[in-house]
Amino acid sequence: MDYKKYKAFTPIDLPDRIWPSKSIVKAPKWCSVDLRDGNQALPVPMSVDEKIEMFELLLSLGFKEIEVGFPSASETEFIFLRRLIEEKRIPGDVTVQILTQSRAHLIERSFEAIKGAEKAIIHFYNSTSTVQRDVVFNKSREEIITIAVEGAKLIKEISARHEGTDIRYEYSPESFTGTELDFARDICNAVIDVIDPDEENKLIINLPATVEMSMPNIYADQIEWMCRNINRREHLLISLHTHNDRGTGAAASELGLLAGADRVEGTLFGNGERTGNVDLITLAMNLYSQGIDPELDFSNINHLIEVYEKTTKMIVPPRHPYAGELVYTAFSGSHQDAIKKGLDRFKKSGSKIWDLPYLPIEPSDLEREYEAIIRINSQSGKGGVAFILETQYGLKLPKAMHPEFSGIIQKMTDETGRELKGEEIYKTFMSEYLEDGHELKLHRYEINAILNDDVKGDKHNSVEIAAYLEKDNDMLELRGHGNGPIDAFFHALKNSGQVKEDLKLSSYSEHALSEGADSKAVAYIQVVSNEGKSFFGVGIDPSINGASLKALLCALNRMENRT
């Protein structure tokens, strides 16, 4: 690793920079370059039909400016644009943008490609960086400016005779980040002089980080310097076009917006040359998560991913911001616990403001299910298992029961060495507590309430129960008294010798399983022995009494089977 062969990027001399104290308060103008920069970087470029599918997708997301290709350099891109125009696929409020080098024959062919389009942006560029000037073109600054100026003149000239299309212009000093700022300014000013933009017809000056060469604050300094030093700033739209070589394309674009830019070019999921262009989903969702309308709609993210993966043959990584399969999944127990508490508070408070630990946005905003938030593995805490049963299956396990059931799940994850899905947790719960195979089964019961006078003549309620249990194909009839149905049943079981005298009921809770007249009740009962052994039982029944008696039997059966 010979780091000595690299040199540090020279910082920009801008001590009075103002961008660090600015905030982004509205969405920039967005331009998708998926069909050009994104496409040109694909191992298998899109076919015309795939491009049309991608174009439709971009429209559905709300893009109003879409770079559709480099039609003068690629026959497929020429045919694609012709199809868009001839098949009237471009809505009236959408402008297609085409890229061309600042070279005469390419510019001429580009105008043929846009014939019949209602609106178009002609995006022309030439490379301006020191290294490109020296290594690729071997031209002086003046000669490089001439390329841009000649291109701009030709574009203006052809536009004047090109009828039927409302044409706007974009100029990019390609490799801007490797260009001396004074030269970037001079070449842009020369183009501005030719294009002669005004308030109504602004010229887009796109300042690309063709290669990301420095930290994002330096890109912001470059943008602020240009905004301050370029001519006729008020007649320009300053556009950003970041690539992600250092992994900070999104940060660079955001800081570039602080520095005064108006517009951002990028792609879905950051597809593009090398490490890609900036990801517009990330940028837009970052705004969204700050309460700012991103003016792009990613609410059908699953469809978006499907079309993107199909047309580009790329995959969306599981940890991709906002969209990846794992980004709403908490594996750690403490995260799960915090999320559960956050969700409970959010629901109870009725607040409209989302403020939850570990979840910067509400997953359902992007078609993600709450059920996907937590999966259980061997690092999960007790709260995670309870959370799954409660949110996905409506079972509110009492807190005292969490250690018992999560211990069962923990054993399974240790044995299998993998995470468990909600469905597996539920199945385990059902087979542990509710499925048949228990020794004692409740067949039928009758409960009578009795009003007694005590010695002082005060009235007291008590309950008498007759219960019929199945045991080894025999029917047992049990009778008992108590201050409620569970107490009476417990006594009946003890009287008949079915359970030991020293057992005690330790906790009880119940709730409806769903709403409505035909809802079932679920009861949870904890039984503790003299030696301190504790077992929970669960019962589900249309009546609370039925659920409670079943829960008691379940706890006793489990205790019997496990001691």
Q: Which does 202 bind (CB under 5 to 8 A by kind): ligand KIV, Zn ion, none?
A: none
Please say which residue, 126 or 557, places its beta carbon nearer to ligand KIV: 126
Site for ligand KIV in 79-118 (CB under 6 A): 99
Q: What's at 33, amino acid-wise?
A: V
Which region among 14-22, 205-213, 306-314, 377-385 touches ligand KIV (by CB under 6 A)? Answer: 205-213
Q: How far is CA 255 from the centre of its chain?
A: 22
Question: Does 37 interact with ligand KIV (rule: CB under 6 A)?
Answer: yes
Please work out the total of residues on this chain that contact ligand KIV, with binding judged by CB under 6 A.
Answer: 10
Which region among 47-55, 139-147, 204-212, 361-369 touches ligand KIV (by CB under 6 A)? Answer: 204-212
Q: Which does 174 bind (CB under 5 to 8 A by kind): Zn ion, ligand KIV, none?
A: ligand KIV
Q: Which helix (H) or strand (E) holds 187?
A: helix 181-195
Q: Which does 374 bind (CB under 5 to 8 A by kind): ligand KIV, Zn ion, none?
A: none
Going by C-beta distance under 8 Å and a sequence separation of 6 or more, which residues neighbour residue 432?
405, 408, 558
Minimum gap (Å) between residue 408 Cβ and Zn ion: 54
Please say which residue, 238 or 555, places its beta carbon nearer to Zn ion: 238
Please say which residue, 99 or 401, places its beta carbon nearer to ligand KIV: 99
Question: Does 333 interact with ligand KIV (rule: CB under 6 A)?
Answer: no
Q: What's at 351, amino acid-wise?
A: S
Q: What's at 176, amino acid-wise?
A: F
Minimum gap (Å) between residue 336 Cβ and Zn ion: 41
Please say which residue, 210 or 545, places its beta carbon nearer to ligand KIV: 210
Please say which residue, 145 or 522, places its beta carbon nearer to ligand KIV: 145
Distance CA 191, CA 231 (A): 10
Q: Which does 119 bind (CB under 5 to 8 A by kind): Zn ion, ligand KIV, none?
A: none
- Binding residues for Zn ion, per CB under 5 A? 37
Distance CA 161, CA 558 (A): 89
Please say which residue, 37 or 424, places its beta carbon nearer to Zn ion: 37
Minimum gap (Å) between residue 206 Cβ and ligand KIV: 6
Distance CA 81, CA 83 (A): 5
Question: Does 125 interact with ligand KIV (rule: CB under 6 A)?
Answer: yes
Q: How far is CA 377 from the centre of its chain?
A: 22
Binding mask 254-273 for ligand KIV (x = CB under 6 A): --------------------
Please say which residue, 69 or 381, places its beta carbon nearer to Zn ion: 69
Encoding tokens for residue 443?
């067949």
Minimum gap (Å) between residue 273 Cβ and ligand KIV: 7
Please, are residues 485 and 549 in contact by the beta-carbon 8 Å criterion?
Answer: yes
Distance CA 526, CA 506 (A): 5
DSSP string of 466-511, one letter each residue: EEEEEETTEEEEEEEEESSHHHHHHHHHHHTTSS-TT-EEEEEEEE
Q: Figure out which of the listed residues 119, 133, 241, 375 binds ligand KIV, where binding follows CB under 6 A.
A: 241
Q: Which helix (H) or strand (E) holds 142?
A: helix 141-161
Distance CA 485, CA 548 (A): 8
Helix count and strand count (H, E) for the chain: 17, 14
Burial class from Cβ neighbours inside 10 Å (0-12, 13-18, 19+) for residue 123 reads: buried
Site for ligand KIV in 473-492 (CB under 6 A): none
- Interface residue list for ligand KIV (CB under 6 A): 37, 99, 125, 172, 174, 206, 208, 210, 241, 243
